[in-house]
A and B are shown apart, each in its own frame.
Chain A
């Protein structure tokens, strides 16, 4: 079993829809959670970074963390064709000095927002 599970998709939605992307994890040591967006042939772009359970909102994006269920989500409101990309969840157990704070990634979900 992988430490982080993410549905690879592809997920196709109409423009304007609310998109829900999810990851589950098995390692309870994970404390910091990130969502990255990666366009084809580009490096990942950080969208959201959160530590606490609960919701964090930034514009059209909301990150949700439920540590008790080991489940994280990214919601995209009013989705646009420009949101079409691969979305990677990532997590790490460390938030203090030391080590390398290596990230464990999900496999990524390919999203396509259609006109």
Chain B
């Protein structure tokens, strides 16, 4: 149980284009989803927290107009990197919290999406 999927696993795009990444909780309802960014050999950096049906809460320094987050259902959240530039190239990982433990459940992570902007 507690499986989180991400799609795509890898994407290469040209500078200036927008990229959408999907995060799905496959076997539980995720009341809260999180989006992280990870640079090589570094720990995860939280970008934003989203609750189903509400606007996402962004961490300080993260541009909400650049990284659009939608959490339209209890099993799906999307991150759209708008007008991507090479400096947006990174490993993006989502996590979901929910399941039988509710608010006391741990976060379960997706496999990550590697974004390369040329």
Binding site for B on A (CB under 8 A): 32, 34, 36, 41-46, 49, 88, 90, 94-98, 100-103, 105-108
Q: Which of B4, B51, B57, B103 has the most CB of A within 10 A?
A: B103
Tell me whether B104 and A45 are in contact (CB under 8 A): no
CB contact between B109 and one of A44, A100, A102, A106 (< 8 Å): that residue? A44
Of B12-20, B73-81, B110-118, which binds chain A?
B110-118
Tell me whether B104 and A43 are in contact (CB under 8 A): no
A-B contact count (CB 8 A): 59
Q: List 19 A-B contacts (CB under 8 A).
A: A32-B106, A41-B91, A41-B112, A41-B114, A42-B112, A43-B4, A43-B6, A43-B93, A43-B95, A43-B109, A46-B106, A46-B107, A46-B109, A88-B43, A95-B104, A100-B34, A103-B46, A105-B44, A107-B42
Across the A-B interface, the 8 shortest Cβ-Cβ residue pairs:
A100-B49, A43-B109, A97-B103, A43-B112, A49-B106, A43-B111, A44-B109, A95-B104
B32 interface contact, C-beta 8 A: yes
**Residues in chain A near residue B111, CB distance under 8 A:** 42-43
